[in-house]
């Protein structure tokens, strides 16, 4: 049996949120009619909530940004090492600033080429895509680093790394400023009124904690799809296969039809779609409404259409910081159809409540499970 698990945080609104699920959404309605509906318990506050989407308990897989980035980029550093995420930023009049415009492919290549010149016997730059890279320091350190959200807009002297051996990381930062500032592409950016890419900023440091090999435990390699670098890293560490993120797009440009095609080709897959949660957090209600209609048409509908012809279990999980909903539709197994897949179901006392991890485990289980 083909098993498809869709995780869509933020799809279900809270008590004070506007519902986007009560509109005409034929595929969602059909799924609720033939599927089994339940409530989803609130998501706990975790360092890496992505671990739950793979079926890990809250006590496992809680890695920081740096180790997840380095893992996603395919690196396997020595055990006694500290991993960082590296973000290209701008230094303007002594303050850390965002770039304001994405790097071109040529600029990204030049940044990587320059960054590799910063490698030392203990520091190794791990190249990623345009704006997400890694750094491995072959030492275990206790220090404080600040991410771009905290650092941008502040004097660089007030947000530099602090702690064990911080002079090593400070030298990396200072050298990145010196080397990148002299690059020709930055002169062109300045002529175009863009900020120079003259700062490599390491943050999110941590060590690679052990995680269970879920592929070995399950006896199969689950295909994971998302636009998340973090989830790509964690998927690799647990032995799952994460699809190519570069083909999917991000945000409102997420290619739902590509996700549909990949789901229909997989025997067991988990797809995580974080767009609704991001749009809710930003208060972009109109964009959220548009995206949910696209989700209905380009992903849910094709998957529902496949149920009569290919034995399939389709599980849709919409968790949130407050209560969420889940629905499972399976070929040849009629559901109760007792409640709609929208916020009204949250008040239905006849519905059971499960945590996301349990629902993912059930969704991936074989026919005998």
pLDDT band at 300 (very low <50, low <70, confident <90, very high): very high
pLDDT at 366: 80
The domain ranges of the chain are 2-63+212-364, 67-206
pLDDT band at 242 (very low <50, low <70, confident <90, very high): very high
Which residues in 338-354 are b (16+ Cβ under 10 Å) and which e?
A: ebbbbbebbeeeebeeb
pLDDT above 70 covers a percentage of the chain that reads 98
pLDDT at 283: 92
pLDDT at 332: 87
pLDDT at 141: 93
CA distance 355 to 317: 10
| Element counts in the chain: helices (H) and strands (E) | 14, 15
CA distance 312 to 1: 6
pTM of the model: 0.93
Token pair recorded at residue 67: 């180790």
Residue 16: pLDDT over 90: no
Using an 8 Å Cβ cutoff, are 56 and 237 in contact? Answer: no
Token pair recorded at residue 339: 């409640």
pLDDT at 247: 87
For 245-270, the pLDDT digits (tens) are 988 998 999 999 999 999 999 999 99
pLDDT at 321: 77
Using an 8 Å Cβ cutoff, are 343 and 35 in contact? Answer: no
Q: In Å, what is the CA distance from 39 to each residue of 17, 35, 347?
A: 17, 13, 10
pLDDT above 90 covers a percentage of the chain that reads 88
pLDDT at 367: 65
CA distance 211 to 59: 10
Using an 8 Å Cβ cutoff, are 52 and 357 in contact? Answer: yes
Using an 8 Å Cβ cutoff, are 58 and 324 in contact? Answer: no
For 137-175, the pLDDT digits (tens) are 999 999 999 999 999 999 999 999 999 889 999 999 999
- How many alpha carbons lie under 13 Å from residue 272 in its C-beta half-sphere? 27
CA distance 138 to 208: 12
pLDDT band at 232 (very low <50, low <70, confident <90, very high): very high
Residue 135: pLDDT over 60: yes
Residue 8: pLDDT over 90: yes
Contacts of residue 185, defined as CB under 8 A and 6 or more positions apart, other chains included, come to 106, 107, 110, 197
pLDDT at 280: 92
CA distance 334 to 36: 8
DSSP string, 159-171: TS-EETTHHHHHH
Report angle CA 359, 363, 368 to the nearest 5 degrees: 120
Q: At what angle do helices 105-116 and 184-191 cross, to 10 degrees?
A: 140
- How many alpha carbons lie under 13 Å from residue 286 in its C-beta half-sphere? 0
pLDDT at 322: 84
Using an 8 Å Cβ cutoff, are 176 and 115 in contact? Answer: yes
Q: Which residue has the tokens 């006694």?
A: 80
> Minimal CA–CA distance to 304: which of 264, 265, 341?
264
Q: Which residue has the tokens 């897959």?
A: 269
Average predicted confidence (pLDDT) for the chain: 94
For 96-129, the pLDDT digits (tens) are 999 988 899 999 999 999 999 999 999 999 999 8
Fold of 2-63+212-364: Alkaline Phosphatase, subunit A (3.40.720)
CA distance 202 to 135: 7
CA distance 317 to 272: 10
pLDDT band at 181 (very low <50, low <70, confident <90, very high): very high
DSSP string, 73-86: TT----SS-EEEEE
pLDDT at 368: 55
β 241-242/223-225 pair status: parallel
pLDDT at 102: 85
């Amino acid at each position: 049996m083909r098993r498809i698990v869709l995780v869509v945080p933020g799809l279900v609104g809270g008590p004070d949120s506007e519902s986007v699920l009560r509109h005409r959404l034929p595929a969602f309605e059909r799924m609720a009619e033939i599927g089994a509906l339940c409530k989803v318990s609130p998501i706990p506050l975790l360092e890496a909530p992505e671990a739950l989407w793979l079926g890990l308990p809250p006590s496992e897989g809680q890695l920081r940004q740096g180790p997840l980035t380095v893992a996603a980029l395919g690196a396997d550093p020595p055990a006694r090492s500290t991993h960082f995420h590296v973000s290209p930023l701008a230094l303007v009049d002594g303050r850390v600033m965002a770039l304001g415009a994405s790097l071109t492919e040529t600029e990204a290549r030049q940044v990587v080429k320059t960054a590799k010149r910063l490698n030392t016997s203990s520091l190794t730059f791990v190249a990623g895509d345009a704006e997400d890279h890694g750094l491995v320091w072959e030492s275990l350190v206790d220090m404080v680093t600040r991410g771009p959200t905290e650092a941008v807009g502040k004097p660089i002297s007030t947000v530099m790394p602090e702690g064990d051996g911080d002079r090593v990381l400070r030298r990396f930062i200072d050298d990145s400023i010196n080397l990148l500032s002299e690059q020709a592409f930055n002169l062109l950016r300045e002529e175009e009124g863009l900020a120079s890419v003259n700062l490599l900023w390491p943050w999110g440091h941590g060590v690679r904690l052990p995680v269970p090999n879920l592929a070995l435990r399950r006896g199969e390699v689950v295909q994971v799809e998302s636009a998340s670098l973090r989830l790509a890293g964690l998927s690799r560490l647990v032995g799952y296969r994460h699809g190519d993120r570069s083909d999917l797009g991000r945000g409102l440009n997420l290619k739902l039809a590509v996700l549909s095609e990949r789901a229909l080709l997989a025997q067991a897959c988990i797809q995580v779609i974080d767009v609704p949660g991001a749009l809710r957090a930003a208060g972009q209600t109109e964009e959220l409404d548009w995206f949910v209609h696209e989700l209905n048409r380009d992903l849910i509908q094709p998957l529902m259409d496949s149920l009569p012809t290919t034995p399939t279990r389709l599980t849709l999980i919409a968790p949130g910081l407050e209560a969420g909903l889940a629905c499972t539709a399976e070929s040849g197994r009629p559901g109760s159809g007792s409640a709609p897949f929208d916020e009204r179901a949250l008040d239905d006392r006849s519905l059971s409540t499960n945590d996301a991890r349990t629902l993912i485990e059930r969704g991936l289980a074989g026919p005998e499970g």
